[in-house]
């Protein structure tokens, strides 16, 4: 049957129903965390000029203390809020809540390597705190034979799973912005190896804002780069927050190699691994090794599959990041599978501390 240009038929009813259900579920998930999503606006302290506006998420709130009866709340966001300044004392921060109220905030801590910051403010009443959920990004090459249980406080995130990015803008309504998309295995091209990707279509308003699952749980912090939506998993962000609160600094372990989840390798490499190591269904695969790095000195090679770290199973890249997080200056034993070698190799590696001039670079 032919249709003229001005008589395009409507979509089939089942497609419209699916779109309506997606929109409904997206909105319901967003509402579970929306009261924790705030707009942040930074101004230069001297000139009053607006520097940057982004989004943040309220993650902590302590009871009223002192004579003023106010609460102490903490917002997790992106260090992009600092704009080109590296001294928080050079800016002032306005915190805009969902109910239209505004408060003065201050950047209490930040880390330029992971591009995150915390903002403190004192609301009159306790705001809603977001529920955080750590990501388990493991996926077996043999799902039918995988009986691994996901830990209680983890959310298993696989390529193609639906996720939602949120933002709040500075207007007279303090409007909430919502964009749904899929978790993707592709890389964004930014330096930070810990970043993951989604297909959510966003703008710079979403920078620093939460990425949530269908239960309204925060699983990451959004960034924006050339029309893409990379995000820092909450696993990494929460560890940074914890270290910033306790030690005012964040460890930056460096092994000198790039790696990814085993399932994200190209099909030619995966076929070879499955044929060589039929019992290996999870792990991380080494993509590149930097010369004269800890990985190079440990004789790690591209296409090595890391299956254990200090005798603990490495199921995914995020778990491996967690294992090496506090191992700066300490020796670790990695078990790797390598083509042409029968059985796992045990290699000792010593993690270096990344120097500030080698921190990840981020767009300003």
Q: What is the DSSP string of 76-140?
A: EEEGGGGTT-S-GGGEEEEEE-TTS-EEEEEEEEEETTTTEEEEEE--SSPPPPPPB-EEE----
Q: What is the pLDDT of residues 330-339, one digit of tens each?
A: 999 999 999 8
**Mean per-residue pLDDT for 261-289?**
90
Q: What is the pLDDT of residues 198-212, one digit of tens each?
A: 999 999 999 999 999
Report H helices in 149-308.
234-247, 267-276, 294-297
Pairing state between β 345-350 and 352-353: unpaired
pLDDT of 176 strictly over 90: yes
Task: Specify the DSSP class assigned to residue 141.
Answer: S
**Mean per-residue pLDDT for 299-311?**
95
pLDDT of residue 202: 94
**Mean per-residue pLDDT for 86-115?**
92
Rounded Cα distance between 78 and 230, Å, is 12
Q: What is the pLDDT of residues 17-37, one digit of tens each?
A: 567 788 889 999 999 999 999
Question: What pTM was estimated for this model as a whole?
Answer: 0.89
The pLDDT confidence band at residue 104, using thresholds 50, 70 and 90, is very high
Report H helices in the chain.
13-33, 234-247, 267-276, 294-297, 317-324
Residue 287: CB atoms within 10 Å: 17
Residue 328 near residue 351 (C-beta atoms within 8 A)? yes
pLDDT of residue 223: 95
Higher pLDDT, 66 or 269: 269
pLDDT of residue 225: 86
pLDDT of residue 8: 55
pLDDT of 4 strictly over 50: no
Q: What is the pLDDT of residues 55-66, one digit of tens each?
A: 999 999 987 655
Q: Which of 227-241, 270-284, 298-312 has the highest mean pLDDT?
A: 298-312
Residue 131 near residue 217 (C-beta atoms within 8 A)? yes
pLDDT of residue 364: 63
- In percent, the amount of the chain with pLDDT more than 70 equals 90
Residue 241 near residue 221 (C-beta atoms within 8 A)? no
**Mean per-residue pLDDT for 79-98?**
90
**Mean per-residue pLDDT for 79-106?**
91
Mean per-residue pLDDT over the chain, rounded: 88
Q: Exposure of 309 by Cβ count < 10 A (0-12 exposed, 13-18 middle, 19+ buried)? A: buried
Residue 23: CB atoms within 10 Å: 12
pLDDT of residue 16: 58
Residue 352 near residue 328 (C-beta atoms within 8 A)? yes
pLDDT of residue 5: 45
The pLDDT confidence band at residue 3, using thresholds 50, 70 and 90, is very low
Q: 20: which residues sit within 8 A by CB, 6+ positions away? A: none
Nearest alpha-carbon partner for 104 in 69, 62, 75 = 75
Q: In the structure encoding, which two tokens stand for residue 206, read together?
A: 């979403």
Rounded Cα distance between 252 and 347, Å, is 21
Q: What is the pLDDT of residues 141-158, one digit of tens each?
A: 876 555 555 666 788 999
Rounded Cα distance between 132 and 219, Å, is 6
**Mean per-residue pLDDT for 356-362?**
84
**Mean per-residue pLDDT for 103-132?**
94
Residue 161 near residue 145 (C-beta atoms within 8 A)? no
Kindly report the backbone phi and psi dihedral angles of residue 255, in degrees, each rounded to the nearest multiple of 5, phi listed first: -105, -20
Q: Which of the residue ranges 21-25, 36-40, 108-112, 349-353 would you say has the lowest mean pLDDT?
A: 21-25
């Amino acid at each position: 049957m032919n249709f003229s240009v001005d008589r395009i038929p409507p979509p089939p009813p089942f497609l419209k129903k699916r779109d309506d259900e997606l929109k409904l579920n997206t909105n319901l998930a967003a509402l579970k965390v929306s009261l924790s999503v705030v707009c942040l606006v930074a101004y230069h302290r001297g000139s009053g000029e607006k520097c940057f506006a982004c989004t943040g998420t309220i993650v902590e709130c302590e009871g009223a203390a002192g004579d003023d009866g106010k609460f102490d709340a903490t917002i997790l966001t992106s260090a992009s809020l600092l704009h080109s300044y590296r001294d928080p004392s050079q800016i002032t921060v306005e915190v805009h809540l969902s109910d239209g109220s505004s408060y003065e905030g201050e950047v209490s801590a930040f880390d330029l390597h992971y591009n995150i910051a915390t903002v403190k403010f004192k609301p009159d009443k306790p705001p809603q705190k977001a529920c955080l959920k750590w990501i388990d990004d493991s996926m077996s090459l043999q799902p039918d034979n995988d009986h691994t249980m996901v830990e209680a406080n983890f959310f298993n995130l696989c390529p193609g799973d639906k996720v939602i990015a949120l933002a709040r803008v500075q207007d007279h309504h303090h409007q909430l912005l919502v964009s749904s998309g899929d978790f993707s295995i592709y890389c964004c091209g930014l330096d930070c190896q810990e970043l993951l990707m989604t297909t959510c279509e966003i703008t710079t308003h979403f920078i620093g804002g939460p990425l949530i699952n269908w239960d309204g749980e925060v699983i990451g912090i959004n960034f924006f780069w050339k029309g893409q939506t990379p995000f820092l998993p909450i696993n990494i962000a929460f560890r940074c927050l914890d270290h910033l609160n306790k030690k005012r600094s964040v460890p930056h372990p460096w092994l000198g190699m790039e790696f990814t989840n085993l399932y994200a390798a190209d099909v030619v490499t995966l076929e070879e691994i499955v044929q060589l190591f039929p019992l290996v269904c999870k792990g991380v695969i080494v993509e590149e090794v930097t010369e004269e790095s800890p990985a190079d000195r440990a004789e790690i090679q591209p296409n090595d599959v890391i299956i254990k770290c200090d005798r603990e199973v490495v199921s995914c890249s995020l778990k491996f990041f967690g294992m090496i997080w506090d191992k700066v200056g300490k020796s670790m034993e990695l078990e790797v599978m390598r083509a042409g070698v029968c059985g796992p190799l045990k290699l000792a590696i010593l993690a270096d501390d990344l120097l500030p001039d080698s921190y990840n670079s981020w767009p300003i």
